[in-house]
Amino acid sequence: MEQMGFSVYHEVARQIIQDEIAVGGSAVPWIDIAAFSAQVLQGRIDQYVGGENGVWFYDRGLPDIAGFLRKEKKETPAEVWQLCQDFKYDPVVFITPPWEAIFHRDAERKEDFAAAIKVHRALEAVYSELGYELIPVPMGSIRWRAQFILDKVGIL
């Protein structure tokens, strides 16, 4: 989307993990998920309130925090759930199901493909509970997937 000239908010969790690793910090999901989630929450709030009028694409949103906590069998704090309700995105959310052929682990993504499927299911449940309409993005080239989204939202 960014290469096509659209405004994009990138995933804040990856940057937080990179920063924490660089300083030997513990606010990473595999050590202290609560501290990590708090930082991600603040980053996503900053993205949400920092947006100007127009079309914005978010890599992830506030409800993803509840989804990741649910996947870890952790309770979503009431204030996080309330923020998910207060900071609403467009009612239509595009979701990309896990795709094993392109899935890879790295320094920031330590979970395996089975865990990615669990995250996906938790995200579907959370977004649905919050009243979003989920549109799965079919597998295909990056350009084709971007055009699929643009076609669905009516952007030429």
Condensed to tens digits (0 to 9), the pLDDT of residues 60-81 reads 999 999 998 898 888 889 999 9
pLDDT higher than 70, residue 51: no
Entry field: residues in the chain:
156
The predicted structure's pLDDT at residue 94: 96
Mean local confidence (pLDDT), 135-153: 94
Tell me 139's DSSP state.
S
Q: How big is the CA angle at 79 (ends 88 and 40), to the nearest 5 degrees? A: 70
Q: Are 99 and 139 in contact (CB under 8 A)?
A: yes
- pTM passes above 0.85: yes
Beta strands 92-95 and 133-136 are: parallel
The predicted structure's pLDDT at residue 156: 65
CB count within 10 Å of CB 90 equals 12
Segments making up each domain of the chain, as ranges: 7-153
**Where is pLDDT greater, at 120 or 51?**
120
Q: Are 37 and 75 in contact (CB under 8 A)?
A: no
Amino acid symbol at 15? Q
Overall CATH class of domain 7-153 = alpha beta
